[in-house]
Amino acid sequence: MNLRAQTTIEMLLILAISILALGIIYSLYGQQLDTSFRVKEYSSAKSTLDKVVNTANSLYASGAGSKAKILIDLPYSLDMSGSYIDGKMLVFRLSNGNDIFALSDVNIIGDWKKINGSYSTGGYYMNLLFDGNVVLLSYDDFQLSTQSIYASAKQGSVVLKNFNIRNNSSNTAYFWVSTSFSHSAASISIDPNDVYFSLLAGETRTVDFNIALADYSSGNYAGLITVIGQVNDGVSDSNVTKQVVVSVESFLRVESMQIFPKLVSISMNPNTSTLRGFNICNLSNSDFSSITWSRDSNSNGNMLTWFNWEPKDYSNSIITAVNSGSCVDFNLTFTVPLGADIKTYDANIIATYGDGNTTTSYFYISVTN
């Protein structure tokens, strides 16, 4: 029994030592793999930095107008949020948090490639151009003729604007154009033919759009037109997003007759009424004695017939005349019936005068609980 016990203990000791040895071996192997990964990551990132810097220096030495196209490879493990290009310095942040950098002889303007707003890793082509002052970086995707568009127009008018898209890649590219410009007083509509299209290599297309200003618009309005291009940079297909900032300033359209206030926003509960005071003013040098009234919903509205807003003065007679340089007060009563849907309704009240001229007041009624 003692011999058997001794043999068992010896076997257990041997097994324990073997397991410990295997653990040490695996630990060393894991460290070796991690070290190998770090070395490979560093080597690949440093090679890319050196390639960009050496190419930039070569273009700088060759003079203005010299250009080159190079294939670079960014390790997928890089922390691109900490990587950047600043003047003559190019920096990559490794996955372990350490930075490596390279210095060029000339300032470099540009950034590492982005796709859908995020930095891209892996292999792709980079274009470099020395313009006589700095080396410019670009990529084989597409180019917008402008990054911002400004317009100034009268209230109630529509202005046509456009910008160009050029396919810089060597393959057919596909484009989607949309807008996030949305205001109650200003809107953008893109030509339906320019919402989706394709461009051959080197081809340019003009994108047309309208900016429409409501009669009550005032001040500045801004939004974005987004262009998504599906391009192939010679390595893979990718979606590249670029944007155009659109801003428009609306200035006052001089009317000979105006209703004040021009824009009214009311919050009401179902089964309630509210009385609001207004005035209509004749700003011209002539008397107007043939005023007619109408109700109408605007282009995106849904005015309900139960809004009782017949314009009357205090003696309950409909206003049909306003003398030059004077104003006439009147009230409008808005009644929301029981059971009305909880949402916002919009509508117009229009006064027509003279030779078919009109002045409009705009209403937004929010029905709440």
Q: Which of 99, 197, 108, 215 is nearest to 155 (CA)?
A: 215
- Looking at 226, 251, 276, which one is the last position of a domain? 251
pLDDT tens-digit series, residues 144-175:
888 789 888 888 889 999 999 988 877 889 99
- Looking at 219, 251, 283, which one is the last position of a domain? 251
Per-residue pLDDT band for 27 (boundaries 50, 70, 90) equals low
Q: Which of 173, 231, 160, 170 is nearest to 205 (CA)?
A: 173
* Higher per-residue pLDDT: 3 or 232: 232
Q: Is residue 5 part of a domain?
A: no
Q: Is residue 99 part of a domain?
A: yes
CA distance 274 to 266: 9
Q: Is residue 274 part of a domain?
A: yes
pLDDT (mean) for 24-37? 58
- How close are the terminal C-alpha atoms of the chain, in Å? 90
Q: Is residue 91 part of a domain?
A: yes
pLDDT tens-digit series, residues 45-60:
899 999 999 999 999 9
Q: Is residue 23 part of a domain?
A: no
- The residue segments making up the domain with residue 225 are 142-251
155 neighbors 213 (Cβ within 8 angstroms): yes
Residue 303 has pLDDT above 50, yes or no: no
Per-residue pLDDT band for 304 (boundaries 50, 70, 90) equals very low
52 shares its domain with 86: yes
Share of the chain above pLDDT 70, in %: 83
261 shares its domain with 361: yes
264 shares its domain with 192: no
Q: How many domains does the chain have?
A: 3
CATH number for 312: 2.60.40.10
Q: What was the pLDDT predicted at 111?
A: 85
41 shares its domain with 105: yes
Residue 207 has pLDDT above 80, yes or no: yes
CA 144, chain centre distance (Å): 14
Q: Using only the alpha carbons of the chain, give its radius of gyration.
A: 35
CA distance 280 to 349: 12
Read off the amino acid at residue 272: T
Q: pTM for the whole thing?
A: 0.50
* Higher per-residue pLDDT: 356 or 204: 204
CA distance 241 to 144: 11
284 neighbors 256 (Cβ within 8 angstroms): yes
